[in-house]
Amino acid sequence: MHFHRVCLESFGYALPDEIVTTAELERRLAPLYERLRLPEGRLELMTGIRERRFFPPGTRPSDISVRSAERAIRASGIDRRLFGALVHGSVCRDFLEPATACRVHHGLGLPAASMIYDVSNACLGLLTGMVQVANMIELGQIRAGVIVGTECGRELVENTIALLNSDHSLTRESIKHSIASLTIGSASVAIVLCDEELSQTGNRLTSAVVHCDTTQHDLCHSRGLETVMQTDSEELMRQGVAAGAETFQRFLAVAGWEPHQIDRTFCHQVGVAHRKLLFESLGLDPEIDFATLETLGNTGAAALPITMALGVEQGWLRPDDRVALLGIGSGINCQMLSVRWQRSPMRAPEELARTDKQSVAPQPKSVAS
């Protein structure tokens, strides 16, 4: 897929106030550790995750998604009457029906003519939404759209801890399928895409490729981030990286880039071993990658876009950078997008913060892209 008129205009995001360290999780897993004689520090050593964040118990994804999307829309400076689509793409949703996007749309006051829906694609839901909205813009069907999602991982982690402590049949081998559940964190992020005629930035989304290997669809499964998840992490890593390497070759061909021409990357955040193997397989220097894994953990579908939002906020991108968004999710699905970066919009995050009159905790931060 090639895009000639689509711009990645802005981000808005929300991070929970509550920080939970991996050391704290291990203290809560003391019954399991004592029973299986596991060494302290094992979890952080295996995953590279030092801490993650959780929204308060009972948080509705839509509440936080409204805040993130509001910030992204305001950061873009685009009249909300021009928004023709809203996609909610996180694993976590308020209900099976109606779509969580309905409540978010209502909270944002977007036009009644907007195309609104939820999209479910594991950790690639927001990237999938970006591709869909970009296609609508490229076809001239809409002028601007917002993609948003909120992952609430607290219940999954707490349910996993309770299960591991109570199930005395578990062994050192069998607990491996629960390790991925302990890497999960919470976050919310929104992305605004628009037609080039509305853009202040000129940050162009130029191409996208997709690839799937559904022979591996059973390596990770759950009924949602509020339930227990079973993951064959080692095999998923191997198969995911293999699928990613195949996708990357197609990505280079479609983007018209050589590996050495990629200036910056943002990847789905899984674990340090996954990241190391991925960059070795793709032949990329890990120094060009911006990572949030150590402090946010795996935040599901929010992971890649919020990592990019934070990278933008911290000045990681420079004018004319070639930016690769490298998404690999269970299924196995891969999506990779190319961005030609230029600059941030005129409205700074501090200005948005001063004019924000809403009072919901945790308050989202915003970053203009």
Closest to 90 measured CA to CA, from 300, 349, 368, 263: 300
Which residue in 102, 123, 194, 220 is the catalytic one?
A: 123
Is 351 considered catalytic here? no
Using omega within 30 degrees of 0 as the cis cutoff, is the peptide bond preceding 288 cis? no
Is 123 considered catalytic here? yes
In whole angstroms, give the CA distance from residue 73 to residue 140: 20
Query: Mean pLDDT, the chain, as a whole number?
Result: 87
In whole angstroms, give the CA distance from residue 355 to residue 105: 21
In this prediction, residues 298-308 reach a mean pLDDT of 94
Which residue in 97, 173, 287, 350 is the catalytic one?
A: 97
Domains of the chain, CATH where assigned: 204-340 (3.40.47.10)
SS3 58: coil
Q: What is the pLDDT of residues 228-264, one digit of tens each?
A: 655 555 665 666 677 778 888 999 999 999 999 999 9
Closest to 280 measured CA to CA, from 245, 332, 322: 245
Structure tokens at 113: 């003519």
270 dihedral zone (left: phi>0; alpha: psi -120 to 50; beta): alpha
pTM > 0.75: yes or no:
yes
Q: What is the pLDDT of residues 130-184, one digit of tens each?
A: 999 999 999 999 999 999 999 999 999 999 999 999 988 988 888 877 788 888 9
Q: Is 52 within 8 Å of 297 (Cβ atoms)?
A: yes
